[in-house]
Amino acid sequence: MRIIEWNSQGAFRKKNDRILSLRPDILIIPECESENKLKFGDLTPKPTDFFWYGDSENKGIGIFSYSDYKFELLKIFNPRFRFIIPLKVTGKDSSFLLFAIWAMDNKEKPEARYIGQIWLAINYYSNLLSLPCVLTGDFNSNKIWDEKKRVGNHSDMVEFLKKENIFSLYHKQEKIEQGKEIHPTFHMYRKTEKPYHIDYFFASDLIIKDGFEIKVGKAKNWIDLSDHVPLTLELQTKTRLGKLNDLFSDHLTIKLKELSSDSHTRFADLIADLIEKAKKIDNLNGSIESLKKREQLIVKYEKLFEIDKLINELKE
């Protein structure tokens, strides 16, 4: 299986020939336009399956299958994390969870921007990380920026994933420490004298135990199209997910158990109401209406945890 990640810096419909010549089975494109703009069969070769999510039709994150692999958005998807997209990927030979990432800014909460978005997401999806997982995309992050104020920094993320037996494949293959990369994935303003390593493939031991190879593109071959180069991952995996329970209501029930006993007593009616509304959302089958209702519910869920934290701080 060949998975390729490449931030095309927009206008993928005009740039897809070169990346598709690498024959990906699965292709992840941050800064990708919507299907309406891509015009499958005209401007963009039609994939066998496709998922896109974004704030506007001009830029989001696109996931393409040019093989037998099919995508299914998990019901527990949290649209508050921009953009970390959890998909169940199923093919003839294997199945696994894919977290497609384009880490974005957060003007409302600067401490939760970029790597902060990923940190919050992996905590939210933590009960899934013991399953076969691949996390890939433009993380907009590196250990060299750890000192910046974040809800969780790059090293925090690496250590969190390590505890789940999920590792950065570039660093594992090259035997290089985080922050000391010698193969840049991004050149600011497309200038080769401004190199950074901010794109990654992380994967579970369950997936990589049968062997893998990762390649980082060379700037000279891509800088005319984008400020990023592609990452190509070759896998031999035969992993199977088995039965996956990703009901939003079940996930919310598990997370709400993390609240203090005091909050469970004070907000028992609210907690029960959140779970009942989550059950109704589970029946909406991933529709746009479902996503909007889910986001409204998650806002309440987040506020409840903020109040719980403040109560505990006041007690101390």
Residue 187 in this model has a pLDDT that exceeds 90: yes
Q: Bridge-partner residues for 95, per DSSP?
A: 90
CB crowding 47-59: b at 16 or more within 10 Å, else e: bebbbbbbeeeeb
- Categorize the per-residue pLDDT at 286 as very low, low, confident or very high, splitting at 50, 70 and 90: low
Higher pLDDT, 171 or 78: 171
Which pLDDT score, from 0 to 100, does residue 108 have? 83
Lowest mean pLDDT: which of 104-108, 113-117, 161-165? 104-108
Which pLDDT score, from 0 to 100, does residue 304 have? 94
Residue 148 in this model has a pLDDT that exceeds 90: no
Percentage of residues in the chain with pLDDT exceeding 70?
98
Percentage of residues in the chain with pLDDT exceeding 90?
80
Lowest mean pLDDT: which of 14-18, 104-108, 199-203? 104-108
Report the topology of domain 2-235: Deoxyribonuclease I; Chain A (3.60.10)
Residue 289 in this model has a pLDDT that exceeds 80: no
Residue 199 in this model has a pLDDT that exceeds 70: yes
The 8-class DSSP code of residue 1 comes to -
Residue 168 in this model has a pLDDT that exceeds 90: yes
Average pLDDT over residues 96-114: 92
Which pLDDT score, from 0 to 100, does residue 169 have? 98
Residue 288 in this model has a pLDDT that exceeds 70: no
Reported in sequence order, the residue ranges of the chain that DSSP labels E, i.e. its strands, are 2-5, 26-32, 49-56, 59-65, 70-73, 84-90, 95-102, 133-138, 166-168, 186-187, 195-196, 199-204, 212-216, 231-235
Residue 290 in this model has a pLDDT that exceeds 80: no
Q: Where are the domains of the chain?
A: 2-235, 248-315
Edge-first strand listing for the sheet containing 166-168: 70-73, 84-90, 95-102, 133-138, 199-204, 166-168
- Categorize the per-residue pLDDT at 242 as very low, low, confident or very high, splitting at 50, 70 and 90: confident
Tokens 């190509």 sit at which residue?
232
Average pLDDT over residues 97-118: 93
Which pLDDT score, from 0 to 100, does residue 139 have? 98
What radius of gyration do the chain's Cα atoms show?
20
Lowest mean pLDDT: which of 124-138, 157-171, 205-219, 274-288? 274-288
CB 187 within 8 A of CB 194: yes
Which pLDDT score, from 0 to 100, does residue 287 have? 63
In terms of pTM, does the model score above 0.85?
Answer: yes
